[in-house]
């Protein structure tokens, strides 16, 4: 019974060791439970405390770990292993060593994409068609950049203070402050003078408005005079046009000929009227002609009296004489 228990314990120990060895082999070969991992290299000027098994993150998610950290004359080479086979890292991309906080902590590597991500045409990193120009492929290289830390920030502050003391920036700042104060005072005086000028300008504007209001009647009269002058100019243009028309008519040879004919006819008519007037005067001066004309007139009167006796005027009554007054 004891022998069987001892053999069973030895068998379980061997099986456990075998399973651990197989798991270690899978981890070393990069295959974990059917999932293949891939690796690439990073180049830093300063490792900043990196060590194997430090985590590697992308967009805040842990995607792998550091496998090896080696220093060479040109910098620090870091080999990282990514556990996700299908993770595609588009370029441009940089690696930065960060701490858990500003005061310290375990360092880790953060992969940062610079620029918009273009995933069209990208393949898996282990694919033979992987383009190292567009994305990070297995065995590729990514440049690392330094990250700010408390010591680096303090060092930069000390350098700035040292340069400030060397260049006497405090005295220069004091002189500059004095000059700025003087300039500010000058600007204040200028502003006060400008306020006075603006006040005088307001008074001038007020006076100008009063003058404009007083000039309104004069301007109205000028407008009326201008309108009348325009009307007179229009009438003058019309009269001038009539004169031009009359002048053009007189310049016409046909019109001149008609005027000459009219004048000739008027002269002939005048001669005839003068001749008739002379004849009438001769006849009126003849007693025989005048007596005959009177006889004819009286005879026509009697003739009309005989033809129309009913329209003869009735004699006036005797009582309408001057005796009734």
Render pLDDT for 226-254 as a digit per residue (tens, 0 to 9): 888 788 788 878 877 776 776 676 667 77
- The pLDDT value given to residue 228: 82
- Strands (DSSP E) contained in the chain are 31-32, 35-36, 38-44, 55-58, 61-72, 75-82, 93-98, 108-113, 141-145
Instruction: Let me know: does 146 contact 95? Beta carbons within 8 Å.
Output: no
In this prediction the pTM is 0.40
Q: What is the Cα–Cα distance from 49 to 69, expressed in whole angstroms?
A: 10
- The pLDDT value given to residue 322: 46
Closest CA to 110 of 142, 86, 77, 87: 142
pLDDT surpasses 70 at 309: no
The model's pLDDT over 52-88, given as tens digits with 9 standing for 90+, comes to 999 999 988 999 999 999 998 889 999 999 998 989 9
**Beta bridge pairs of residue 78:** 42, 69
Closest CA to 161 of 192, 229, 153: 153
- The pLDDT value given to residue 185: 79
pLDDT surpasses 60 at 37: yes
Question: Phi/psi at 241 (nearest 5 deg)?
Answer: -65, -40
- The pLDDT value given to residue 197: 67
Query: 32 pLDDT band (50/70/90 cuts)?
Result: very low
Query: 1 pLDDT band (50/70/90 cuts)?
Result: low
């Amino acid at each position: 019974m004891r022998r069987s228990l001892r053999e069973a314990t030895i068998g379980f120990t061997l099986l456990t060791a075998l399973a651990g060895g197989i798991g270690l082999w899978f981890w070393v070969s990069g295959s974990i439970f059917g999932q293949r991992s891939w690796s690439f290299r990073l180049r830093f000027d300063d490792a900043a405390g990196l060590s194997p098994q430090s985590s590697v993150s992308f967009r805040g998610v842990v995607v792998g770990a550091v496998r090896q950290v080696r220093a060479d004359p040109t910098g620090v080479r870091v080999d990282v292993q990514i556990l996700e086979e299908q993770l595609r890292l588009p370029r441009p991309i940089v690696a930065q060593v960060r701490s858990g906080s500003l005061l310290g902590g375990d360092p880790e590597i953060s992969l940062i994409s610079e620029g918009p991500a273009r995933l069209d045409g990208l393949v898996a990193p282990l694919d033979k068609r992987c383009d190292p120009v567009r994305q990070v492929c297995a065995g590729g290289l990514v440049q690392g950049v330094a990250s700010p830390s408390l010591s680096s920030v303090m060092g930069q502050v000390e350098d700035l203070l040292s340069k400030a003391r060397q260049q006497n920036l405090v005295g220069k700042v004091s002189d500059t402050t004095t000059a700025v104060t003087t300039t500010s005072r000058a600007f204040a005086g200028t502003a006060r003078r400008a306020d006075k000028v603006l006040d005088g300008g307001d008074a001038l504007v007020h006076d100008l408005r009063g003058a404009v209001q007083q000039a309104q009647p004069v301007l109205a009269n000028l407008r009326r005079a201008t309108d009348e002058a325009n009307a007179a100019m229009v009438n003058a243009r019309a009269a001038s046009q009539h004169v031009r028309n009359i002048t053009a008519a007189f310049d016409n040879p046909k019109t001149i000929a008609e005027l000459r004919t009219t004048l000739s006819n008027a002269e002939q008519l005048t001669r005839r009227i003068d001749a008739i007037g002379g004849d009438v005067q001769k006849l009126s001066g003849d007693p025989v002609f005048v007596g005959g004309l009177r006889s004819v007139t009286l005879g026509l009167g009697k003739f009309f009296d005989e033809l129309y006796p009913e329209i003869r005027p009735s004699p006036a009554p005797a009582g309408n004489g001057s005796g009734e007054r």
